[in-house]
């Protein structure tokens, strides 16, 4: 496979060897990949926090809501997640074990990352840590989503829109992040350089993460299909 073909982003969620037989009954390898993927995701979030160049677009939205409503940023984050889950209904997206594990594993990995990662001493190191964090979030997303154990609330909105519209998953994620960032900024949330980098790059990062997971975990029977072996998961 040529380098350009290897680097081609996935347009959908690929089928892998570790895909679970159902969203509530994981095989051991599915569960392992789920935990590893969510752990990498959480460490990526920790990199972005430690870089000190701004929070993710979703946290900007939570900040804006907290500024406009008599609620804390934690309550605003919960409110946003609840509303996004409601948006799953018309998209016919289904929760699963991964939906529950998303909140627990990412939170633990994020906290551990904040404890162990040093604070960058220069602007170059800060930007580098943001980019590393975005890459880690993309890779972690690619791993855990390909287990088909159910996405987190925000990723479920992304995969649901992708399944119903046929738009490439990277473009869907980019559109969501830009929309959320703009709304959060209008409501009074704080935007930094890291926030803008995350909003612009997370879509391509997730598409690349899915592509890498699809190639590493390709099912032999579908690995040589046109498009690089990325048949779309049933939803």
> How many whole angstroms separate alpha carbon 180 and alpha carbon 64?
11
Tell me, yes or no, whether 200 lies in a domain. Answer: yes
The answer to whether residue 1 scores a pLDDT higher than 80 is: no
- Would 37 be classed as within a structural domain? yes
* pTM of the entire predicted model: 0.84
Query: Do the domain assignments include residue 171?
Result: yes
Instruction: Give the domain extent around 57.
Output: 26-216
Q: What CA–CA distance (Å, rounded) separates 61 from 207?
A: 23
For the chain, the first-to-last Cα distance in angstroms comes to: 30
Longest dimension (CA), the chain: 55
φ, ψ of residue 94 in degrees (nearest 5): -115, 135
- Taking the C-alpha atoms of residue 155 and residue 184, their distance in angstroms, rounded to an integer, is 18
Determine, yes or no, domain membership for 3.
no
pLDDT digits (tens, 9 = 90+) for 95-136: 999 998 987 898 888 888 889 999 999 999 999 999 999 999
- Cα torsion 105, 111, 117, 123: sign: positive
Please give the Cα distance from 40 to 46 (Å, whole number): 10
Q: Tokens at residue 86, please?
A: 């409601």
List pLDDT tens digits, range 143-177.
999 999 999 888 999 999 998 999 998 899 999 99
Q: What is the pLDDT of residues 15-69, one digit of tens each?
A: 999 999 999 988 999 999 999 999 999 999 889 888 989 888 998 998 899 889 9
Alpha helices (runs of H) in the chain, residue ranges in sequence order: 3-7, 28-51, 57-68, 73-91, 97-116, 123-145, 153-165, 169-187, 193-216
| Cα-based torsion angle of the residue sequence 165, 198, 130, 168 in order, rounded to the nearest 10 degrees | 20
9 domain residue, yes or no: no
Number of independent structural domains in the chain: 1
With respect to residue 233, please indicate whether it lies within any of the assigned structural domains.
no
In a domain, 54, yes or no: yes
- Written as six digits, the tokens of 210 are 């899915």
Residue 69 domain-assigned?
A: yes
């Amino acid at each position: 496979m040529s380098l350009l073909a290897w680097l081609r982003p996935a347009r959908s969620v690929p089928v892998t060897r570790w895909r679970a037989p159902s969203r509530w009954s994981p095989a051991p390898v599915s569960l392992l990949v789920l935990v590893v993927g969510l752990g990498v995701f959480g460490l990526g979030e920790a990199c972005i926090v430690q870089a000190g160049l701004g929070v993710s677009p979703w946290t900007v939205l939570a900040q804006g809501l907290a500024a406009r409503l008599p609620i804390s940023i934690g309550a605003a984050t919960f409110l946003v997640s609840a509303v996004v889950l409601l948006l799953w209904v018309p998209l016919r997206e289904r929760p699963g074990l991964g939906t529950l594990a998303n909140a627990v594993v990412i939170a633990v990995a994020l906290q551990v990352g904040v404890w162990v990662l040093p604070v960058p001493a220069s602007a170059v190191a800060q930007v580098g840590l943001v980019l590393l964090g975005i890459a880690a979030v993309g890779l972690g997303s690619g791993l855990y989503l390909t287990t088909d154990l159910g996405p987190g609330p925000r990723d479920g909105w992304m995969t649901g829109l992708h399944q119903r519209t046929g738009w490439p998953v990277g473009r869907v994620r980019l559109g969501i992040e830009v929309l959320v960032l703009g709304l959060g900024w209008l409501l009074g949330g704080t935007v930094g350089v890291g926030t803008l980098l995350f909003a612009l790059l997370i879509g391509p990062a997730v598409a690349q993460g899915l592509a890498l997971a699809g190639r590493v975990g390709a099912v032999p029977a579908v690995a040589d299909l046109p498009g690089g072996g990325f048949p779309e998961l049933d939803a």
